[in-house]
Amino acid sequence: MSRTRTPVVDGWFTGDGDDFRLLGTRCSACAAVFFPREDVHCRNPGCPGGDLEEVPLSQRGYIWSYTDSRYRPPSPYVTDPELPWEPYALIAVELESERMVVLGQAAPGFTVADLAVGMEVEVVPGVLHEDTETIWTTWHWRPTGVAI
Amino acid sequence: MTGDVAVLGAGMHPWGKWGRGFVEYGVAAARAALADAGLEWRQVGSIVGADTVRSGYPGYVAGAAFAKALGWQGARVTSVYAACASGAQAISTARAQILSGLADVVLVVGADAAPKGFFRPAGGDRPDDPDWLRFRVLGATNPTYFGLYARRRMAVHGDTLEDFTQVKVKNAALGALNANARYRKPVTAQEVAASPVVADPLRLLDICATSDGGAALVLSSMEFARRHGVAEPVRIRAVSTVTPRYPNTVLDLPEIATDSAVAVDPTAETFRASIARAAYEEAGIGPDDLSLAEVYDLSTALELQWYEDLGLCGQGEGAELLRDGETAPGGRIPVNMSGGLASFGEAVPAQAIAQVCEVTWQLRGQAGDRQVAGARVGITANQGLFGHGSAVIAVR
C-alpha cells in the first residue's frame, strides 16, 4: 500500500530535493512579501493594494536564533504517546533578500549543540509525521555544508 | 494629556492551583477590592471583566459572569479580551468610561483557572489561525519562543545563563514576601541550574508557570474620590494599548514569521518599546521619574528585555543593570517587587490587573516588606499575543 504525501499546510511549499522552496506571496503594487502567504489583501498600510502573486522564498538564510522542545508539545501537534519523546530543534532564519525571519524545525539529527546564531542554513523537504494513509510533509532548516 | 482616574481599591485572590472556577477567584478579588475602597457593590455603576478563553462561555462574557455572581444590580457591563493584555484593556475601558462621564465608579476584574502544562490552542482544525498553525506545524509552545528570545540576547548582547538565573533569584526572594504569590520560597542559583531544560537555553525555573488567580481594581473619577473622602488617591495617569507598526520585525507569538521589511523600512523602535513610549507620552513623564516597574517576566530573559524597552537602560544593557543591582530592592529602579510572574505564574486575564494592584500598594506605602521607600510613580508593562500592547502608569 502506498501512502499519500500531503503537505501539512497547502500552498506553503513546493518541489522536491534541490528544487524545494517555501512559497510566499508578493504584492504587485509595493513588492511586500508575505509568509505565511497573504492571498487577499496586502498588509502594508501605506500600499493602495495590489495583486498578490505567489513567489518562492530564498532557499538559504542565516540563523537569527534557535531553541528546542524538550517536552512533548500538546495537540494539534501530532505525536505517538506510546513512544518516548525525542526533542527537536527549532530555528528562526533570517532571509536576506526578503528581509524577514521564518521559523521552522531543524532537519532530523541536528540538535541545538550543532547550531549557532549567524550560521547559514538551507530549506529542505521534511516529514512532520506519518499515519497509516498519509505522510505529512513540511519544511526543515538544515545547516549548509554540514554532515551528520 | 488626558485626565487622571483614581484607584480607590485593589484586591486579589491568591495565585496557585486551587482547582476551582475562575468566577470564584474573580469574585473574591472583587470583594477584596470593594472592601479596600470602602464601597458596596451596589455603588458600582459599571463592571468590566477581562475574559478567559479557558472556561467556556462564562469566560467569554467574564464581566457578566462576575456581575451575576456578585448579585445582579443593573450595572453597565463590558467584557474584553486581548490575551495577556486583557487586564490592561479592561482598565483602559473603565478609564474611558470614567473620563467620558459614563460612570463614576467602575469595577475591573480578571481571573483565570489554568490547566496543567503548556497552554494550547482552542480545539478543532483551524488552518487559518496562526495560533493553531504554530502548534500543528511546528509544535512551537510558548516556552520555545522564550528560548528563541533568550538565545538571541546571548548572541547579540552577551547575556549569560547566570544573568537569567539571577533574575529568578531576585524575583523569588520578593515573591517569598508576598502573600498573594503562588511560589513563596527563595530560590538559589543552584536550584535554577538543576532544573530541567524546557526550551534551550531556558530551564524550568526560567519560565513562568500557568496559575489560577484573580485580581480586581475599583476605579473612580477624581471628583467621586474627593466626595468619598480620599483626597490623595493613587491615580492612573496613562494606559497604553498600542498595536505594532508594519513591518513588525520581531518574531512575536504566535507568528511563524516576521513581517518582511522589503517594502517599508522598519522603525528603529520595536513594538515593545513603543508600548512604553506611548504610556510615557500620555503621562508626561519619562523613565527617570519612575520609582518602580512591574514587567511581564514570562521568562527570566524577557525581564531583561523589558528593562531596555522601558528605557531603564540602553539597548543591550539590561543584564548590566541587573548585575549592578539597580533593579533589585534598594536599587535605582526596582523591578517586579511583587515577585513577578516568576513567583505568581501567569493567570492571563488577571495578570495585568495584578501588576496595577502591586503598584497601587507600593504607591500607598502598603507593600510591607516589599515596600519601595517613597514610591511616587510606577509603570506596568506587558504584551498580549496578536499585537496587544499594555502599559499603565500610576502616580501619587
Smallest Cβ distance to B152: which of A103, A117, A138?
A117
In whole angstroms, give the CA distance from residue B96 to residue B231: 22
Q: Do B156 and A117 touch (CB under 8 A)?
A: yes
Q: Where are the domains of chain B?
A: 5-117+212-233, 130-205+237-395
Q: Do B263 and A69 touch (CB under 8 A)?
A: no
Which residues 6+ apart lie within 8 Å of B145 measured at CB? Answer: B251, B253
Smallest Cβ distance to A138: which of B135, B137, B262?
B137
Q: Cα separations (Å) of B11 from A82, B354, B370, B372?
A: 46, 8, 17, 19
B5-117+212-233 and B130-205+237-395 agree in CATH topology: yes
Q: Do B144 and A90 touch (CB under 8 A)?
A: yes
* CB interface of A with B, residues 117-136, below 8 Å: 117-118, 128
- For residues A62 and A113, state if they share a domain: yes
pLDDT at B121: 85
Q: Do A138 and B144 touch (CB under 8 A)?
A: no
Question: Does any CB of chain B come closer than 8 Å to the CB of residue A141?
Answer: no
Give me the phi and psi of B301, to 5 degrees please: -65, -35
ipTM over 0.90: yes
Question: Does any CB of chain B come closer than 8 Å to the CB of residue A88?
Answer: yes
Smallest Cβ distance to A30: which of B152, B200, B263?
B263
Confidence of residue B396 (pLDDT cuts 50, 70, 90): very high
| B41 CB neighbour count, 10 Å cutoff | 17
The DSSP secondary-structure symbol of B102 reads S
Query: Over B297-321, what HEC string results?
Result: CCEHHHHHHHHHHCCCCCCCCHHHH
- For residues A26 and A50, state if they share a domain: yes
Domain span at residue A41 reads: 9-57
Interface test with B, best of A65, A93, A96 (most B CBs within 10 A): A65
Q: Please choose, from the candidates B84, B255, B171, B137, the residue with its C-alpha nearest in 3D space to the C-alpha of residue A69.
A: B137
CATH 3.40.47.10 holds for B5-117+212-233? yes
Do β-strands B292-295 and B234-240 pair in parallel, antiparallel, or remain unpaired? Answer: unpaired
Q: Please choose, from the candidates B1, B25, B172, the residue with its C-alpha nearest in 3D space to the C-alpha of residue B109.
A: B25
Which residues 6+ apart lie within 8 Å of B87 measured at CB? Answer: B50, B108, B110, B215, B349, B350, B351, B352, B353, B354, B355, B356, B390
Q: Do B151 and A46 touch (CB under 8 A)?
A: no
Q: Do A65 and B263 touch (CB under 8 A)?
A: no
Structural domains of chain A, count: 2
Question: Does any CB of chain A come closer than 8 Å to the CB of residue B125?
Answer: yes
* CB interface of A with B, residues 4-63, below 8 Å: 8-9, 27, 30-36, 43-47
- CATH number for A131: 2.40.50
Interface test with A, best of B119, B138, B197 (most A CBs within 10 A): B138
- Does A1 map to a domain? no
In whole angstroms, give the CA distance from residue B267 to residue A144: 32
pLDDT digits 0-9 by tens, B220-242 = 999 999 999 999 999 999 999 99
Give me the phi and psi of B24, to 5 degrees please: -60, -45
Rg (CA), chain A: 17
Question: How many angstroms from the chain centroid is the CA of residue B226?
Answer: 29
pLDDT digits 0-9 by tens, B101-149 = 999 999 999 999 998 778 888 778 888 899 999 999 999 999 999 999 9
pLDDT at A148: 60
CATH architecture of B130-205+237-395: 3-Layer(aba) Sandwich (3.40)
Collect all residues of chain A within an 8 Å Cβ-Cβ radius of residue B137. 8-9, 128, 138
Smallest Cβ distance to A69: which of B117, B149, B199?
B199
- The answer to whether residues B134 and B37 touch, using CB atoms and an 8 Å cutoff, is no
- Tens-of-pLDDT digits for all 148 residues of chain A? 689 999 999 999 999 999 999 999 999 999 999 999 999 999 999 999 999 999 999 999 999 999 999 999 999 999 999 999 999 999 999 999 999 999 999 999 999 999 999 999 999 999 999 999 999 999 999 999 776 6
Is the predicted pLDDT of residue B1 greater than 60, yes or no? Answer: no
- For residues A83 and A143, state if they share a domain: yes
